[in-house]
Structure 1
């Protein structure tokens, strides 16, 4: 290859890898060869290191025009370099000293200076090149992206990575407390293996760890890995050691809450701490609630503190800051018991009502617009706002804002907190039919999860109780809670198991039993019953359908599915008190208005077979089975007010079935744990005359046994059911 061709090839490669300059001053003098020498002074600076200045002499080449095609590379084995051919080493302290680049000597290197920063982007380099900053370097060695390349051959990727690791270790070692952090992390790595560290060794490691971190807690807690060291120390340390950490961080908790890593340590402090630690941490958030609740990191830990750690008094102080700046500035006295109830505040300061409501609405709306709607504190504030404006146009506007959340996340989040569930229930109670339909639509896909939740199940009950369109509620709620199985036997069996699991759940069963029960207190906790009753009072002004008709229409939707599941799962249901109540309420609630009378027969037959099965002998002796059987033989519930039985229509006919099933063992039942079942049978209006006469004869013939069971013979344990039967025999009522 001729000299001119080599120069053109070198110029082509140099154009592809020209130096990016931010501020490049190019000076030079004609060389002896007629070329113009360009002097570039390059300065690079890295963290913790002095500036390294390098002065290089290069030969300038004319830039190729845009129309000129680049010469193709003919040497496939030559080292490829990227568009950033020279990157200064951050470990270089002297110009030209072992920097990995060989430069030609230049006696006039002092003639020009330019600062080149190694972290420039390709766009910046391109801009500089377009301004005439492109030059060619005549160099035997170039460095691409921090990796050395040589004419002797390219360095391997492994060597490059090794150098990068060495540099990273050097940088870490140069940081303050690097050795301390390294020692603490080694101990943490050992402590985190819970099942592999013997207790004596763990105590020794914890003691050593606290020797290291004492006095440096804040330095540790603000760093990623080091923050985990503090969390482990809180987990395995004793109470005094935890208090030491809490005291050392005192005065910094608002700052720590805003840290991506330190916020987790606050949670650990409160989880593993006592009341003293709690009273150190939580008061530091006073006065900063409005700012922190809008912070992307601090908001979550603040809400966790409010929900899970704060006392009722501390929660009230934190929530009051939502009502205005004065509540953040003026703190209540230690002896005062502040209230977060707006109604109480308005009673003492009615002139502040407009100002407080406006301030509260602005903060609520800000969080809703930011889509940060999962905070319990937000739900408490929204409830306070709504119950003080309900029944007004302001309440209607507020509901429109809530419905304006297109994703429906706000309504979903509200349903799973105590205050949020009450708020959504009030929305259902006060809303129009159109709004109720929109509210139900927001919960599509989460109905099963709501049914099993301690708070969300209240929303489902209120929706079933106030929505007049039973087709809508049947499809929206029961359509997800009780999906229709396919034709395969496996799918049907799985559906029946799912129904029984729901029926045995403390909260899930309420949605299934609601259409069948007459008294809500029999299936609902007092708190839930109170909310449902509150909404029923509102329903009188907002709903038109008769409550009994609504229940019957809902019962029609699910009755056949429930009966089919019961017929295959009787033994499972009998083993649980909730299961026995489920059997009783569904059988008594499936009246002729709901299903055909014959639809209950498979369940009754299966129940009789289970009673006759010797495997269920112990189960039949339980109190909950006895109560269920007594109500079934009476074919209705006992009313304490009138002291009568409300018969279902049509009657079950279970008394005759049970009498025929246990005939030979009737006296054993009368003197055993199920004596009240026989009492119910004797009092039942559902027992046929023929069987009643047979029952009377059998009991009279065994009067002595019954008397012994009733405590009439010394030394015998009294049986209350047998005592009642004995009285009826003696009075001639049997």
Structure 2
């Protein structure tokens, strides 16, 4: 007989468990393996699968499984724990902050008073309530990031008597508050609303601390704010402390009439070397920390360079030359510092300055003082390839807007007609010729002249790749070596800027002619610039511009009185008149296309200036064009012959 198969022991039927695996997971894994790994042996319907799963002693977890709800006692325990932790935190803050409870009350009042759409009476009531709560503690809580904001709002909206009370309470603590990150905003807000007497008292309280505060990133903001708000005497008093220790100790030594450092040294018979040494100790930390945004610092550097020896002046110019110079040229003295750095800088330093302007050229061009630095670069720097690559390319990107701006158009006008008194004030033209006295004297001394002549090491040349020397070293350089016309031609014509200028003027001719500032740009472009720099390269383009202007002038006179024809507009009529007088090619085009046969229409008003220009011009050909048609108007008295002096 065949042996009967032995029954497997119960142990072999036991399901193996993975270590650290929950029973529920093992059940789920076993069911998954049955459904996925052996489909031939196990053929079950969905209902059978559901029955088998429900028969298991453990519930299978799915993605939608939610943990059983926590008992209410446990929730209450956690909530009590959080409340207890919050109470402990509040207790620590109260222990650490002397006026913590007061700050919380002030914060609630501040949320009410700082809203815009509230009645003035309600705001005044809350401001008064807040000031009453702070009375006697203002100096202690002014350094808090919460209370300082409340105080700023109170100072802004309170009455003058309440503001005076705050000032008197803070007066002994101004120096400490001026160096605090949060309180500094309160101090500047008080200066904005201070009457003349309080401002003078505050500036007097700064005596002896100006130099130390200027070296502080936060404190320098207060000095700059007071400097900008003060009158000429107060500004000079703040500057004096940077000159010598004697002036820090005895503020009555100088009356304030001496504006220049050289005059102060001469009157008080100070030693120039001592003043220079003290100013170096004050300004060098400012340079190292990069606190270069303030106008008082720019003024101090200008005075320093006026008395500095060649070595010290060269060192300062070298440290200023770079990307940090962009932060200085927004003030009058900062712009002049930038021009001095360009004028006296070496080729390497000029390159650093120009590269530091990358991405900021448009903003610099729009700036009231910064645009003069671009003018100086166009007038001095011989590395025209670098200037074209960085400055010209950025200017081209926003050309149409720049041509209409009072400041931004000036770099273009400098290239078209250099140093013209019509576009630059005497002060601007003077700034273009500024130089550091010690460096200028050293450059013109016989010793350095011989080094220049015989190839000494004092000369450091750079080329543009075409063999042209561009810049010399800091002691000898006061301008470029290239011919001025050649530099202008490379920057204006060879770079492609001139062609884009003519295209922009043709496209927006009417807007430029009607604009107070744009008319001067289109005039210079249409005439071809000084020395005929745009001729003959762009003659065809210029002829197209002349035709564009003539086409606008040829339009019929509008019926509506509020619409001005281009020949009747105040600005455009004068610009067209100047073009007729100075550009015969344009005058001929305008006559043939717009004025021939229509002079009687334009013989009165602003347009008569354009017609009279054909009689005033010195070009005989243009005169002959208009003579026959204008003679009857002269005889009738509609036009008058120009007076010959």
Question: TM-score scaled by structure 2?
Answer: 0.75
1:354 to 1:326, Cα distance in 2 relative to 1, 3 A: same
1:348 to 1:723, Cα distance in 2 relative to 1, 3 A: same
| Aligned pairs (5 A) from 1:433-452 | 433-452=347-366
By how many angstroms is 1:280 displaced?
A: 2.4
Q: Tell whether the 8 Å contact from 2:365 to 2:407 is kept in structure 1 after alignment.
A: yes
The residue number in structure 2 matching 1:682 is 615
1:633 to 1:227, Cα distance in 2 relative to 1, 3 A: same
1:706 aligns with 2:620: no
Q: Tell whether the 8 Å contact from 1:222 to 1:256 is kept in structure 2 after alignment.
A: yes
Task: Provide the C-alpha distance between the structure 2 equivalents of 1:574 and 1:303, rounded to a whole number of angstroms.
Answer: 41
The residue number in structure 2 matching 1:652 is 585
1:654 to 1:724, Cα distance in 2 relative to 1, 3 A: closer
By how many angstroms is 1:569 displaced?
A: 1.3
The residue number in structure 1 matching 2:416 is 516
State the secondary structure of the residue aligned to 2:637: helix
The residue number in structure 2 matching 1:528 is 428
Task: Provide the C-alpha distance between the structure 2 equivalents of 1:244 and 1:474, rounded to a whole number of angstroms.
Answer: 59
1:166 to 1:197, Cα distance in 2 relative to 1, 3 A: same
The residue number in structure 2 matching 1:186 is 108
Give the gaps of 5 or more residues in structure 2.
1-18, 24-70, 441-475
The residue number in structure 2 matching 1:386 is 305
Q: Select which of 626, 632, 642 maps to 2:579.
A: 632
1:227 aligns with 2:184: no
By how many angstroms is 1:375 displaced?
A: 3.3
1:683 to 1:297, Cα distance in 2 relative to 1, 3 A: closer
Task: Provide the C-alpha distance between the structure 2 equivalents of 1:274 and 1:347, rounded to a whole number of angstroms.
Answer: 35
Q: Select which of 457, 475, 478 maps to 2:389.
A: 475
Q: Tell whether the 8 Å contact from 2:528 to 2:535 is kept in structure 1 after alignment.
A: no
| Aligned pairs (5 A) from 1:361-510 | 361-389=280-308, 392-403=310-321, 408-483=322-397, 498-510=398-410
Deviations 1:192-248 (A, max 9, x none): 111x10223223333333333333322331221111111001111122322221122
State the secondary structure of the residue aligned to 1:203: helix
1:313 aligns with 2:313: no
Q: Tell whether the 8 Å contact from 1:303 to 1:377 is kept in structure 2 after alignment.
A: yes
1:574 aligns with 2:513: yes
The residue number in structure 1 matching 2:160 is 239
1:186 to 1:694, Cα distance in 2 relative to 1, 3 A: same
State the secondary structure of the residue aligned to 1:273: coil
Deviations 1:259-318 (A, max 9, x none): 221111101001122212212222111101222222343233223322x22222222222
The residue number in structure 2 matching 1:326 is 246
By how many angstroms is 1:588 displaced?
A: 1.4
1:597 aligns with 2:539: yes
Q: Tell whether the 8 Å contact from 1:220 to 1:229 is kept in structure 2 after alignment.
A: no
Question: TM-score scaled by structure 1?
Answer: 0.66
By how many angstroms is 1:686 displaced?
A: 4.8
The residue number in structure 2 matching 1:47 is none
Task: Provide the C-alpha distance between the structure 1 equivalents of 2:523 and 2:385, rounded to a whole number of angstroms.
Answer: 26
The residue number in structure 1 matching 2:569 is 622
State the secondary structure of the residue aligned to 1:313: helix
Task: Provide the C-alpha distance between the structure 1 equivalents of 2:585 and 2:341, rounded to a whole number of angstroms.
Answer: 40
By how many angstroms is 1:160 displaced?
A: 4.3
Q: Tell whether the 8 Å contact from 2:113 to 2:123 is kept in structure 1 after alignment.
A: yes
State the secondary structure of the residue aligned to 1:666: coil
Q: Tell whether the 8 Å contact from 1:656 to 1:687 is kept in structure 2 after alignment.
A: no
State the secondary structure of the residue aligned to 2:399: helix
The residue number in structure 2 matching 1:354 is 273
State the secondary structure of the residue aligned to 2:151: helix
Deviations 1:140-192 (A, max 9, x none): xxxxxxxxxx9x96988765443333334445567655554344322221111
Task: Provide the C-alpha distance between the structure 1 equivalents of 2:102 and 2:353, rounded to a whole number of angstroms.
Answer: 56
Give the gaps of 5 or more residues in structure 1.
1-71, 77-149, 484-497, 637-650, 708-721
1:272 aligns with 2:272: no
Q: What is the Cα-based RMSD across aligned positions, in Å?
A: 3.3
Q: Select which of 539, 549, 558 maps to 2:486.
A: 549
Deviations 1:562-598 (A, max 9, x none): 0111111123212311111111011213535462311
Q: Tell whether the 8 Å contact from 1:655 to 1:686 is kept in structure 2 after alignment.
A: no
By how many angstroms is 1:256 displaced?
A: 0.7
Q: Tell whether the 8 Å contact from 1:634 to 1:655 is kept in structure 2 after alignment.
A: no
By how many angstroms is 1:351 displaced?
A: 5.1
Q: Tell whether the 8 Å contact from 1:452 to 1:505 is kept in structure 2 after alignment.
A: yes
The residue number in structure 1 matching 2:455 is none
Q: Tell whether the 8 Å contact from 1:317 to 1:338 is kept in structure 2 after alignment.
A: no
Higher strand share: 1
The residue number in structure 1 matching 2:174 is 253
Number of residue pairs matched by the alignment:
531
Q: Tell whether the 8 Å contact from 2:566 to 2:572 is kept in structure 1 after alignment.
A: yes
The residue number in structure 1 matching 2:49 is none
By how many angstroms is 1:535 displaced?
A: 6.0
The residue number in structure 2 matching 1:584 is 523
By how many angstroms is 1:703 displaced?
A: 4.3
1:200 aligns with 2:121: yes
Q: Tell whether the 8 Å contact from 2:184 to 2:222 is kept in structure 1 after alignment.
A: yes
Q: Tell whether the 8 Å contact from 1:321 to 1:328 is kept in structure 2 after alignment.
A: yes
